[in-house]
Amino acid sequence: MKKTGIIVLLAFLASCNTNNKESDAYGNFEATETIISAETGGKIVFLNAEEGAKIDMGTCVAIIDTTDLLLKLQQLDAQKRAIQSRSENVFSQIEVYNQQKENLKKDSLRLDNLVKEGAATQKQLDDIIGAINLINKQIKATETQNISVINEMSVVDKQIEQVKENIRKCYITMPFTGSILEKYTEKYELVNPGKPLFKTACLDSLFLRAYISGKQLSGLKIGQKVGVKVDTDGQGMKTTEGVVTWIAADAEFTPKIIQTKEERVNLVYAVKIKTANDGTLKIGMPAEVVFSK
Cβ atoms of 40 and 65 within 8 Å: the answer is: no
**How many Cα atoms within 13 Å fall on the side-chain side of residue 133?**
6
Kind and range of the H or E element at 189? none
Kind and range of the H or E element at 187? none
What are the backbone dihedrals phi and psi of residue 187, each rounded to the nearest 5 degrees, phi first?
A: -60, 145
**How many Cα atoms within 13 Å fall on the side-chain side of residue 90?**
18
H helices within the chain, ranges in order? 2-19, 67-117, 122-169, 214-217
Helix then strand count (H, E) for the chain reads 4, 15
> How many residues belong to the chain?
293
Tell me which fold the domain 23-32+202-290 belongs to: Elongation Factor Tu (Ef-tu); domain 3 (2.40.30)
Residues 6 or more apart whose Cβ sits within 8 Å of residue 64? 38, 40, 41, 42, 43, 44, 45, 169, 170, 172, 191
pLDDT digit string, tens, across residues 197-242: 999 999 999 999 999 988 888 888 999 999 999 988 767 788 899 9
Buried (b) or exposed (e) across 131-170, using 16+ Cβ within 10 A? bbeebeebbeebeebbeebeebbeebeebbeebeebbeeb
Residue (of 70, 55, 290) closest to 170 by Cα position: 70
pLDDT, residue 8, reads 32
Residues 6 or more apart whose Cβ sits within 8 Å of residue 268? 211, 212, 213, 214, 251, 252, 253, 254, 255
pLDDT, residue 274, reads 96
pLDDT, residue 234, reads 65
Q: Where are the domains of the chain?
A: 23-32+202-290, 33-65+171-197, 67-169
The Cα angle at residue 162 between residues 160 and 167, in degrees rounded to 5? 95
- CATH architecture of the region 33-65+171-197: Beta Barrel (2.40)
Cβ atoms of 38 and 173 within 8 Å: the answer is: no
> What 3-state class would DSSP assign to 134?
helix
pLDDT in tens, the chain (293 residues): 333 333 333 333 333 343 445 788 899 999 999 999 999 999 999 999 999 999 999 999 999 999 999 999 999 999 999 888 887 777 878 888 888 888 888 878 887 777 777 777 888 877 888 888 888 888 887 777 778 788 888 999 999 999 999 999 999 999 999 999 999 999 999 999 999 999 999 999 999 999 998 888 888 899 999 999 998 876 778 889 999 999 998 887 766 555 445 555 578 899 999 999 988 899 999 999 998 75
Q: What is the rounded CA–CA span in Å between residue 271 and residue 249?
A: 10
Residue (of 59, 31, 63) closest to 44 by Cα position: 63
Four-CA torsion 16, 244, 260, 215, nearest 10 degrees: 90
